[in-house]
Every structure is written in C-alpha cells, then in structure tokens.
Amino acid sequence: MAGEVVLKLAGEAGQGVESSGAGFARALARGGLSVFGSQDYMSRIRGGHNFYLIRASAGEDLWAPPDRVHLLLAFDAESLTLHLDELVAGGGAIYDDAMKVDEEEFERRKVQAFPLPLARIAQEKGSNRLMVNTAALAAAAGIMDYDFAYVDSVIQDNFRRKGNAVVDANRKVAEAAYQEARQRYGDRFEWKLRPLTPLGQSPYLLLSGHQALALGALAGGCRFISAYPMTPASSIFEWMVAHANQYGIVAKQTEDEISAILMAIGAAHMGARAMTATSGGGFSLMVEALGMAGMMEEPVVIVLAQRPGPSTGMPTRTEQGDLLFALHASQGEFPRVLLAPGTVEEAFRLGAEAFNLAERYQLPVIILTDAFLANAVKTVERSALALSRVEIDRGELVTPAELDRMPEGEKYLRYRVTPSGISPRALPGHPRAVYLGNSDEHTEAGAFEDEDPENRERMHSKRLRKLETVAKEIPGPFVYDNGASAGDGARHSEVVLIGWGSSYGPLREAVEELGRQGVAAKMVHLAYLWPFPVAKLEAILTPWLERGSLLVVVEGNATGQLRRLLRAETGIEAGARVLRYDGRPLTAGFILEKLAAVERRLLAVSRT
C-alpha cells in the first residue's frame, strides 16, 4: 500500500517487546497517522519468541496485520533468523552491533543491515543498559525521519511516574540513538514517515478491541462485572477494574467462572447492567447457568473471547472456533443473541448495544471476540467514540409509579404471555411486583406448575417468539464493494467473500487488493450472528449467485462453522472456503493466496 511503513519489533519474552511496540504505535498515532498494531506472544513469562507489528500510513485506513515488513527491530539474534525473509527488497534490520551477524545473509536477500551501538549508548547516556529498548525505538524513528518530539512525548508519559531523573536519562539515550541512526542510515532507507498534525492535536485515539469493548460497555450503562481471569478475556476485566472507582463500577474477581456468571445474573436480575467475560474453557463452566438465565429471561451480557482449543489449547493465540458452541451452549432451547464485532469501532458500538438488546428482549447476549481482536490496536477517530451518541433502552421495564397505579387485585405477571414474547419487567423490591424467579418451567407468575404440558408449550413458545422479534429489528450484514467490473471471459462475474467477527479487516484489505488487480469483489461481514439474518442474507446473496458469482466463506477455524450455519439456515452452499486454524490471524495475503489455489482447483475441475 502506497505511503505505508511496516515496522516489526522482535525478541524474547521479557525483553519488553510488547511495551516498546505499544509505545512506538502511540508516538505514530500522536502524529495523526493511521496506525494498526498487533502482537504475537507465547504463553511464557520469560523465554520464547515474541513480536509486535506496527503499520502506519499517512493516508488510507489500516485494518489488518501486513504480510511484509520494511524495518525489523531485532532485540536478539534469533529475531534476525526468524524474520529476515519477511523484509521487502531494500528494507532493513536494526540490531545491536555486538550481535554476531552474517551480513552475507542480508546481501543474499537484498536487504540492509543497520548495526548500531545501542547497548553502549544506553550505558553511556543513561548509565543503564536496560534503556537499550529506548535507544532502539529512537533509532527506528531516526531512520524513518519521524519527528523526535513525538517519541519524546511517549518517553515522558511512560517514565514520569519513576521520577524526573529516569525521564531525563531515557530522553538522553533516545536523542543520541536517534541522531546516530539518522546520520548513518537515514539516506539509505527509502520509507519515511512524517507527522500530519502538531503534537497534541491528533484526531485519533489508539485502542485495542477489548479496550473499546469495555469503554462501550461503560457508555452503555454497565456498572457490574464479575470474572475469573482467563486469557484473552482478562483485558476487559482489567480495564473495568482500573476504572471502577472513577465510574462507580462494581468489579468482582470470583473464585471460578461458575461464580462469575451467577453473580452477573444476580446483578442483572436486580436491575444492574451486568456482564462477565471469559474464554472457551471458562464459558464451558458457565453453560448450566447460561441456561438458567435463558429460563428466567435475565438480561445478562457474556463476552466469549475465543482462543484455540480444545482444553487449554493455545492460550495466547487466536481462533474463531466457538461460533456453534456459543449458539447451542446449554441444555434445551432458548433465545439468545450472538454478536461478533469486527473492528475496534464496532467493538465499542456493540459493547454498548449488547445491554440494550439484553434488556429490550430479556435474554442473554453473547459477544464473540478473539485473541486477535482483543490485542490488536488501531487508530480510531475520537468522534466515533462519542459517549453522547450512546442511547440506553431498557425495554419493557415497569416503573414504580406504574406499579403504584395497578388496579387493586390485579396480579403482576413477570412472564406474561405476549405476541412479541417480551413480558413487562419489574425490578425486585416493589410490594405490587412480587413474583417467583424460577429456573424450573413456570407459569406467567413464575410459579412451578407441576409440569403441565399446556403451560410448558405456552411458555416455551413465548420465549422463542423473541427471536422472531429480534430478527426483524437487528441490522443486516455489512457489504463492501471494491467497484471493479468483471472482465470479458472471467470465470465468475465477481468474487464474494463472506466472514464474521475479526475477519473484517483482512477481508476488506483482500477485496481492496483484488480491486487493484482489476478483479470485481465484494465483502459481506456478519456482526449480528444470531438470530441468523436469513431474509437479509438471501436478499443480498441470491442475485449475485444467480449471475455466477463465486461465494467464498472465510473464517478462522478448521470446519467452516459459518459455512455450515449459512447452509443450514438459508440452503445457500458456498462455492469454496478459506480457513485458518494455526493460531495466527487472517491476513489479506493469506486470503489471496488461498483464493488463487481455489481458482486453480475450480479451473482444473471445469476442464475435466
């Protein structure tokens, strides 16, 4: 992509790769650049290889991890071995000049070596070799000709709590490394970045998906969260705990996930907007209580942050393997809403909307994220996170005044049968609204009805009718068209890529790249997964399929769960699928490579 620079920081766990990458990403965002950052780390405190990718652009929005790198920042020798092949021709690697490096490897790959005395600068200017990361990041800024003031601002923010002496020492180290790198290698490195806005005037915030989701939940009125820490969901709980005192949030770390969901259900029952967050193993423990929330029609929000399974699986990697699990979890049938934000902006919006949906339809709402969306950071325009735009809809909530006006002798029916399936909901505590909250099948008043078959059919149908109501009211899929026209002789009039959740960014960039290649392509992205938008999807897909478009489902699992759901609900069979399940996120390059293989296979079939 023109006007883009990709930087990769790599080293061993414990060397500060993540904190250094996050700091440099903030420095770029403060210059008004569009930034996307993602990390890859092993489930160890020390040892094991980690890296942090940063994309920055002075023009276009960035949506996903890149497939190639311009500048590698290697904190150890292993990083050069692992990542040198990812450098574009003419790109380069910064490393400490004390490392033993075979420079012929650089020449063979047509990339540049940028050795620098990083450790010596840290010791001489800062009296501490631990400041080598500061030196390395400043060197990267120097080679890219990025204004030092923006790096300096992050250094001051990061080290202010340690005192002026530490701040000053890091600033001296950074300035020396910046000048050394710029003078020695600046004219040899062709990819440059320059700020677009003065310091302090950037229109952007830099947020991860889970930070945005937590902020959206707060804006949507969430004031209770209970959780047991589990990667990658822990970052939501950590954010809420960090802001609990400031915003009046009750945050409870429980002894296990069963307690976490039960506390959240109890808080929701009493009228608080409540949530819990976990990953697959923890969600497995929550399943029975999820069924209780369905039976009692409790408006609880549950975040299921996916990672590869089964069992412990790969704790720090990403996957989209829990779609059908979330859809069918718990015994019996009951309505639920499944949401899957695809971007940081969407995580904020759905983080707030989940509570409206939960209370409006009186049911559990499950938000599906994954490790990729949880940890990836992206610049977001401040206006996209305007708290004033968030509306709170509590649905059929009966006020105390309305209860006071009830006719004498009229009984409040918490589970009253209605055409929509949604009953008037009164919060506990009012003398005119006493009812039994019952996890057994019950009457309209909540009482156990001795397993009466007619009552069972009436109440079960009432609950399930909510899905019909939700399906009519939630938005349909998002469609993105690259605007290209199918050329004469093309096998397909166009390629249609369909995905859900965090596949949004890679799909969008793949569609854009196809457009640059002259291939007509569209993206269909599902953020509202259940109730499945059958009518809306059929209206979108059917005309395209009738004119010969190739429908390809793209998702991060091994069995094509969305493809199976699409076929089961609509009868539409995708012509192909692109799946990734190695624990790494989808990228545009990965999708395009697999698409080329699909086309070759289809062409071979047509010739036989």
For the segment 274-323, what is each residue's pLDDT rounded down to a tens digit? 999 999 999 999 999 999 999 999 999 999 999 999 999 999 999 999 99
Q: Which of 202, 221, 247 is the last residue of a domain?
A: 202
Q: Which tokens go with 211?
A: 């930070």
Domain that holds residue 465: 400-473
Q: Which tokens go with 25?
A: 């990403």
Q: Both 118 and 221 in a single domain?
A: no
Query: Would residue 198 count as lying in a domain?
Result: yes
Number of domain units in the chain: 4
Query: Would residue 536 count as lying in a domain?
Result: yes
Specify burial of residue 157 (Cβ count, 10 A radius: 0-12, 13-18, 19+).
middle
Q: For tokens 């006020």, what's the residue?
A: 399
| Type of residue found at 218 | L
What CATH number is associated with residue 371? 3.40.50.970
For the segment 322-343, what is each residue's pLDDT rounded down to a tens digit? 999 999 999 999 999 999 999 9
Q: Both 176 and 238 in a single domain?
A: no
Q: Both 221 and 359 in a single domain?
A: yes
Query: Would residue 430 count as lying in a domain?
Result: yes
Mean pLDDT of 161-176: 95
- Reported as a pLDDT band with limits 50, 70 and 90, residue 455 is very high
Q: Please, are residues 260 and 228 in contact by the beta-carbon 8 Å criterion?
A: yes
pLDDT above 70 coverage of the chain, percent: 98
For the segment 70-85, what is each residue's pLDDT rounded down to a tens digit? 999 999 999 999 999 9
Q: Which of 368, 389, 410 is the last residue of a domain?
A: 389
Q: Both 224 and 348 in a single domain?
A: yes
Q: How far apart are CA 316 and CA 371, in angstroms?
A: 7
Q: Both 160 and 223 in a single domain?
A: no
Residue ranges with strand state E in 528-585: 528-530, 550-555, 576-579
Q: Please, are residues 500 and 340 in contact by the beta-carbon 8 Å criterion?
A: yes
Collect all residues with Cβ–Cβ distance below 8 Å to 359 and sequence separation of at least 6: 273, 299, 393, 394, 395, 397, 425
Query: Would residue 254 count as lying in a domain?
Result: yes
Residue 72's alpha-carbon distances to 21, 25, 51, 151, 430, in angstroms, are 12, 15, 10, 18, 64
Q: Both 464 and 488 in a single domain?
A: no
pLDDT of residue 387: 83
Collect all residues with Cβ–Cβ distance below 8 Å to 133 and sequence separation of at least 6: 15, 16, 19, 20, 75
Geometric angle at alpha carbon 248, from 376 and 352, rounded to 5°: 45
- Please list the alpha-helical segments (H only) found in 517-560: 534-546
Q: Both 86 and 192 in a single domain?
A: yes
Q: Both 234 and 370 in a single domain?
A: yes
Sign of the torsion formed by the C-alpha atoms of 406, 411, 416 and 417: negative
What CATH number is associated with residue 153? 3.40.920.10
Q: Both 448 and 585 in a single domain?
A: no
Q: Is residue 42 predicted with pLDDT exceeding 80? A: yes
Q: Please, are residues 64 and 587 in contact by the beta-carbon 8 Å criterion?
A: yes
Task: Classify strands 550-555 and 576-579 as parallel, antiparallel or unpaired.
Answer: parallel
Query: Would residue 395 count as lying in a domain?
Result: no
182-198 in b/e form (b: 16+ CB < 10 A) is: beebeeebebebebeee
Q: Is residue 488 predicted with pLDDT exceeding 60? A: no
What CATH number is associated with residue 509? 3.40.50.920
Give the residues across from 69 on adjacent strands: 87
Q: Which of 454, 473, 492 is the last residue of a domain?
A: 473
pLDDT of residue 449: 75
Query: Would residue 394 count as lying in a domain?
Result: no
pLDDT above 90 coverage of the chain, percent: 88
Give the single-character DSSP code of 99.
S
Backbone angles phi, psi at 115, to 5 degrees: -70, 140
For the segment 260-272, what is each residue's pLDDT rounded down to a tens digit? 999 999 999 999 9
